[in-house]
């Protein structure tokens, strides 16, 4: 894939350039309830890192803008669909907090509402610069402008989200590693 396709954004380049320690890249995925999209992105990103033998320098987590499911496992349907792809989602749901802007280098929202809420709680302009849309890393799924919420959809909705996030997490990895070549272990 052509990495420039989804890195040709000043905001993305700026967020990556602001990573404090390229030997510990910290990424937080965010959706509404932290039960479908963001834990799936977390699990898929961990899989990408494992396949690239690059887990040691990454910290990956997910959170929700709402507090509806704090402490719960991800949605059982999302876990089942992910498991069919060899991905185990064991994350315990949590709500995003202002402190996450100090703990993570890049914070990725799944849709416009998530991005808006993240901007509202960002403690500074610099922290707001860490927020990126997951859609910035879409390739073949560029017809979407966000990761759709599969919660009220059937099996096809969960599969579509996993397809989108599988490609987007790989693109995210490629984008970050391409812009931090000196950080390779």
Told to judge if 149 belongs to the known catalytic residues of this protein, a careful annotator would answer: yes
Q: Compute the distance between CA of residue 55 and CA of residue 50 in angstroms, rounded to an integer.
A: 6
Active site residue 72: no
Among candidate residues 26, 31, 79, 100, the one labeled active-site is 31
In order of 62, 65, 122, 143, 151, the CA distances from 49 in angstroms are 16, 25, 27, 26, 27
Out of 26, 37, 79, 94, which one is annotated catalytic?
37
Q: What is the DSSP letter of 108?
A: E
Coil, helix or strand at residue 177? helix
- Which one of the listed residues 47, 100, 111, 149 is annotated catalytic? 149
List the catalytic residues: 31, 37, 149
């Amino acid at each position: 894939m052509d990495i420039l396709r989804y890195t040709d954004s000043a905001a993305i380049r700026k967020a990556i350039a602001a990573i404090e320690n390229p030997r510990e890249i910290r990424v937080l995925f965010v959706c509404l309830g932290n039960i479908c999209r963001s834990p799936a992105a977390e699990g898929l990103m961990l899989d990408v890192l494992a396949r690239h033998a690059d887990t040691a320098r990454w910290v990956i987590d997910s959170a929700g803008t709402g507090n509806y499911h704090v402490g719960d496992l991800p949605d059982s349907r999302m876990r089942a669909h992910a498991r069919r792809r060899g991905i185990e989602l064991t994350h315990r749901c949590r709500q995003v907090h202002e402190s996450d802007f100090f703990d993570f280098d890049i914070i990725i929202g799944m849709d416009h509402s998530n991005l808006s809420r993240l901007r509202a709680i960002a403690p500074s302009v610099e922290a707001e610069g860490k927020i990126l849309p997951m859609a910035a890393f879409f390739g073949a799924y560029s017809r979407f402008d966000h990761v759709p919420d599969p919660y009220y959809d059937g099996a096809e909705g969960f599969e579509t989200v996993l397809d989108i996030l599988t490609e987007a997490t790989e693109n995210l990895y490629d984008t970050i590693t391409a812009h931090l070549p000196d950080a390779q272990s």
